[in-house]
Amino acid sequence: MTPEKQQERVRSSFAKQGLMTTLGATLSSVSPGMVEIALSPHPAISQQHGFVHAGAVTAIADSAAGYAALTLMPADTGVLTTEFKITLLAPAAGERILARGRVVKAGRTLTLAQAEVFANTGGQEKLIALLTATLMAVEGRDGISD
Amino acid sequence: MTPEKQQERVRSSFAKQGLMTTLGATLSSVSPGMVEIALSPHPAISQQHGFVHAGAVTAIADSAAGYAALTLMPADTGVLTTEFKITLLAPAAGERILARGRVVKAGRTLTLAQAEVFANTGGQEKLIALLTATLMAVEGRDGISD
Amino acid sequence: MTPEKQQERVRSSFAKQGLMTTLGATLSSVSPGMVEIALSPHPAISQQHGFVHAGAVTAIADSAAGYAALTLMPADTGVLTTEFKITLLAPAAGERILARGRVVKAGRTLTLAQAEVFANTGGQEKLIALLTATLMAVEGRDGISD
Amino acid sequence: MTPEKQQERVRSSFAKQGLMTTLGATLSSVSPGMVEIALSPHPAISQQHGFVHAGAVTAIADSAAGYAALTLMPADTGVLTTEFKITLLAPAAGERILARGRVVKAGRTLTLAQAEVFANTGGQEKLIALLTATLMAVEGRDGISD
């Protein structure tokens, strides 16, 4: 697949994720092995202290890692997250939350990807979370193709 | 704190989590060291293949583990997730998704909790995810008190 | 495979692990989906404060989880750990350290297993670590068959 | 503490780890926020297929991450690993195994560190494992001071 087709595949799949729309997340960048997803803090995605909920931070981080993996997979292959770990370093507060996923090692069956999550305030970026995920390439299973 | 006060603290904190309302999650059970959160699948929380998004599954699992930890913490203490790991075992499909958090070991500073997530279809429960989390008790920091 | 053949396969594989002999670890129990490995604390496996090194605790916990997974895999299949997470709850001190691995969910390609590690002192067991691992079944790859 | 004193503290602590001597591991580099530990493959640290056992790989990766964290901690503070996750990417085979630990974020109580593990064969380095660890600074607890 060309980078353009890969990008199109990620964009089309992302648009089908109801949760991303619900959270207000947007796909801000797609390139081979790297995907960025952004989120604007608002009350509908908050936790009890007013920060962005770890669940929302995790959702964009996991998606960024998963789509980064998908950009390096063959056509007609879907991607599933088998597991991930996230370390939360600071409250998710700021004007914009940005998850940057990148592939660490792409394998035939399993891919290791990481996502760093940054909080942006007044042009300053602060690392607020680090996710490590194992992604599995699946072929023609349950109609999964992205 | 009495179990009733602990329960009240968890319910009051949960009600302030904007994300839980947005996802349609409900607190179905609170007892010392154990908390259950339920979710009904709907398109607004889906991923690209129509299943419940791993981000939504993770959000309720993390909250169930965190609140289970909170039930064993002293008054005037808040709880923060420092990290968690989740293994996704099967697609989150069914009539109802239920996350059951329980404390494995409560410590002065750090607590280890797990959450099992089940998908319920026609009265049958299937384990679809397992989360392990480290929770930190925080006192009087940034106004955190639940 | 019969439980007896499964047991024999695990015992034979364990005996080939140079590290287990070096650590002084022994295979104390093997049954379908469950394996126990024991270790006696001694200076050669210590860390700087005199406790058993987390690396030794982890080695027996990972092996216990991996062999628990192997007991449920078909003949001519080998097992590889793809990733694991371990939470260390207390210093590994006592007369005997015991890792109990058990399968949480066995899949065709991937298996999820956990291992609890206990320190035994004067007949009292204390949970000191919890490991969660993803194991992969491999067939005829690189001569891997156990 | 000066970098020299930090280095001395790490070297002295490492020398007390019986397991590192038993594995044949050596401390190859110590600088602020970064520590390297090397290992030469030999049968006494092998697993059943002849590769270096994941337990030995993990032991040096965990120690490299932990000591990297220690280099940024105040005097009279000890370091404990509270949890870590490791992804194993390829068999640990080669002439030399090298774990490079570095601090991602140093906090007052908790530090996040990562360790990459490389296998070196004929001058070629290959990434074989990635570890993410949470380290806790402890003061005057149980005589822990390194």
Residue A14: pLDDT band (50, 70, 90) is very high
Alpha carbon distance A102, B136 (integer Å):
29
When CB atoms are compared, the residue of A16, A46, A84 closest to B18 is A46
Strand partners, D96: D120
Asked if the Cβ–Cβ distance from D44 to C22 is below 8 Å, we say yes
Asked if the Cβ–Cβ distance from C134 to A134 is below 8 Å, we say yes
When CB atoms are compared, the residue of C56, C85, C142 closest to D19 is C56
The pLDDT of D89-96, averaged and rounded, is 95
Hunting for tokens 């992969």 — which residue is that? C136
Residue A140: pLDDT band (50, 70, 90) is low
Residue from C83, C105, C136 whose CB has the most chain B CBs within 10 Å, to mutate: C105
The rounded average pLDDT for each run of 10 residues, N- to C-terminus, in chain C (146 residues) is 91 96 97 97 92 97 97 92 97 96 95 98 96 92 56
Confidence at residue B21, expressed as pLDDT on a 0 to 100 scale: 97
pLDDT at residue B139 is higher than 80: yes
> Which tokens belong to C51?
């406790």
Q: Which chains touch D (3 or more CB pairs under 8 A)?
A: A, B, C
pLDDT at residue B79 is higher than 80: yes
Could you read off the pLDDT of A35-83 as tens digits, one per residue? 999 999 999 999 988 899 999 999 999 999 999 999 999 988 999 999 9
Give the closest-approach CA distance of A53 to chain D in angstroms.
Answer: 20
The pLDDT of D55-78, averaged and rounded, is 95
Q: Which residues of B touch C (CB under 8 A)?
A: 85, 87, 89, 104-105, 107, 112, 127, 130, 132, 134
Could you read off the pLDDT of B84-96 as tens digits, one per residue? 999 999 999 999 9
Confidence at residue D139, expressed as pLDDT on a 0 to 100 scale: 84
Asked if the Cβ–Cβ distance from D55 to C53 is below 8 Å, we say no
Start-to-end CA span in chain A (Å): 13
Alpha carbon distance B35, B103 (integer Å):
9
Confidence at residue B3, expressed as pLDDT on a 0 to 100 scale: 87
Q: Rg (Cα) of chain B, in Å, rounded? A: 15
Chain A residues close to C109, C-beta within 8 Å: 109, 136
Asked if the Cβ–Cβ distance from D134 to B85 is below 8 Å, we say no
The ipTM estimated for the assembled molecules is: 0.94
Strand ranges across the sheet with B96-106: A26-31, A34-39, A96-106, A110-121, A124-139, A77-88, B77-88, B124-139, B110-121, B96-106, B34-39, B26-31
Q: What is the mean pLDDT of chain D?
A: 94
